[in-house]
Structure formats: structure tokens, C-alpha cells
Amino acid sequence: MAEPAEKEASYEDLLQVPDNLVAEIVGGRLYTSPRPAPKHARASSSLGVEVGAPYDKGRGGPGGWWILDEPELHLGADVFVPDLAGWRRERMPELPETAWFELVPDWVCEILSPSTQRLDRAEKMPRYAEHGVRWLWLIDPEIRTLEAYELRDGHWLLLTVLDEDKPVSVAPFDATEFPLSALWA
């Protein structure tokens, strides 16, 4: 006997998830994960400072970006909540009035954790590519690495993997530099 088809998750399903969990709809499935652990939160917050000051605020850098923590992205039927995302202001001159974003970000960063690593790599990465996110960074605070990807011809091209105290000057934020260790300190 055939298995019944799984019902596609709706935004109403997402709204029923308790506030102590992060909820996303990826490829029609509802995923929940715990709020970030301290190392994860520290890496995300620190990256927001390192990238936000020069690119969002224009302090010591070129400006011209919106850099946001945990924005809710409504991209087709998918609802993502990346750790950080960025839009060039030439593409999005003003922030939307809604509580979510329907414009595909130019850059997304996911901070990997044991509970989200498979979702981030196997489910979200391909969907980000399908939606046309141009740059993707994956940061692992446990092994202290940064993987940077660029979308080319619909596929992710690995630009670099950084570890230790290597300088971070990677597209799309290659006009400035900061030490990778700044994300854990």
C-alpha cells in the first residue's frame, strides 16, 4: 500500500511553532531548531559587527548594504531564517514595511551547529541557489572555519575555506579585512 503524500507546510503551521524555536519552511517541509547556543550566537553577532560597520553603516568601508540578523525570508513557498543576510541598497533602496522580506538577498550567512548543519548544507544551500542568492558563507564556530561560496551558472563555487586567524577579505565583502578569530573572541 502506498504511503499517503505528506502535506506541504503552510505559514500557519510555522506560526504555531513555540517562540523558543526557530521555524523555517524549506522545500515544503517545516523544520524547527533550538535558539542558537552561545558559540553560535557569538559568531553571528561578531560577524554582524565586522561586516555591518563597514558595509551597512559605511564606517571604515564602502557602505551600500543592508546587513540584518535573522531576517525572515519569504522566497516562493520557502520561508528561511538565515543567521545573517545582506542586500545591496541599489537593489533594495528601502526596508520593506512587512515583517519579512520577499526580495532575494545578495548574501546569506549560516552559522553551523550540530542541530542545523545538515539542514543548512543539504536542504537550504540548494534552495538558496534556486532562488538566486549570489553569495553564501557557512561559518562553523566549533572548528572555527569560514567557507565562502559564489553562485555561478546555478551552482555553488567554493571561493575559499579560512581557518585559524586568517584574514577575511572575501566576496562580496572584499573591500575590507578582519581576522577570522574576531568571530570567536
Query: Tens digits of per-residue pLDDT, 118-132?
Result: 999 999 999 999 999
* Percentage of the chain modeled with pLDDT above 90: 89
Give the pLDDT confidence score for residue 6 in this predicted structure.
65
Q: Per the confidence metrics, is the pTM higher than 0.75?
A: yes
Domain range 36-71+81-183, its CATH number among 3.10.129.10, 3.60.10.10, 3.30.470.20, 3.90.1570.10: 3.90.1570.10
CA angle, residues 160, 166, 167, in degrees to nearest 5: 85
CB 125 within 8 A of CB 136: yes
Show Cβ contacts of residue 151 under 8 Å, excluding neighbours closer than 6 positions. 129, 132, 133, 134, 135, 136, 157
* The three cell numbers locating residue 114: 550540530
pLDDT in tens, 27-71: 999 999 988 889 999 999 999 999 999 999 999 999 999 999 999
Beta partners for residue 152, in sequence order? 155
pLDDT in tens, 110-160: 999 998 999 999 999 999 999 999 999 999 999 999 999 999 999 999 999
Task: Read off the DSSP letter of residue 154.
Answer: T
Domain ranges of the chain: 36-71+81-183
CA angle, residues 122, 124, 127, in degrees to nearest 5: 110
Distances (CA, A) of 39 to 16, 54, 93, 154: 28, 23, 33, 32
